[in-house]
Structure 1
Amino acid sequence: MASSDMKPKSIIRAKKWSEEIENLYRFQQAGYRDEIEYKQVKQVSVVDRWPETGYVKKLQRRDNTFYYYNKQRECEDKEVHKVKIYAY
């Protein structure tokens, strides 16, 4: 199966915050399921990240505007349940 046509098999909702959830939150705010979909749509191999935390730093939305994120955690506890975790 080519990575260009990966579709998620299932979705679960996040229950508690983690670094993985933080990054998923950022991709989903920008309008993507996750890093896999972002790389497919934008045809990029590397995502801009903060070297200190590894969190996503900048994402280009589908309308080509940019989202910029802080070094620190942005996904608050009350937002965690909105994050979807896709299984492939």
Structure 2
Amino acid sequence: MSCSTDNHSKPKAMSRAKGWSTEVENLFRFQQAGYRDELEYIQVKQGASIDKWPETGFVKKLQRRDNTFYYYNRKRECQDRDVHKVKVYAH
């Protein structure tokens, strides 16, 4: 549905997360809300700002595609058992 010719819209490669990190934590949160990553969220939500916890840098709140919101804790939410489910995209 996007009419953008932006090169950032399609990732070049995808791999699975091997270990937990701040990046993996935030990807987990975006993917839980129905987005590939922060880039896709910004494209879909037309540059919506992303609230992050200042002390951790973790995403605080995301608007899903159905316009409901996900609210996240300042602490880690992606458990070790879920790390391998997180998709890491290379753009």
What TM-score results when the alignment is normalised by the length of structure 1? Answer: 0.93
Let me know the Cα RMSD of the aligned residues: 1.3
Q: Structure 2 matches for 1:60-71, cutoff 5 A?
A: 60-71=63-74
User: What whole-Å deviation, never above 9, does each CA across 1:4-61 have from its counterpart, x for those lacking one?
Assistant: x520111000000000000000000000000000000001252110111110000000
- Among residues 6, 22, 39, which one is paired with 2:9 in the alignment? 6
Q: How much identity, in percent, do the aligned residues show?
A: 69
Q: Which moved more, 1:60-69 or 1:46-55?
A: 46-55
* AA matched with 1:9: K
The yes-or-no answer on 1:86 pairing with 2:74 is no
What TM-score results when the alignment is normalised by the length of structure 2? Answer: 0.90
For structure 2, which runs of at least 5 residues remain unmatched after alignment? none
Tell me the equivalent position of 1:50: 53
* AA matched with 2:66: D
In structure 2, C-alpha distance between the alignment counterparts of 1:2 and 1:85, rounded to whole Å: 20
Deviating 4+ runs (over 6 angstroms): none
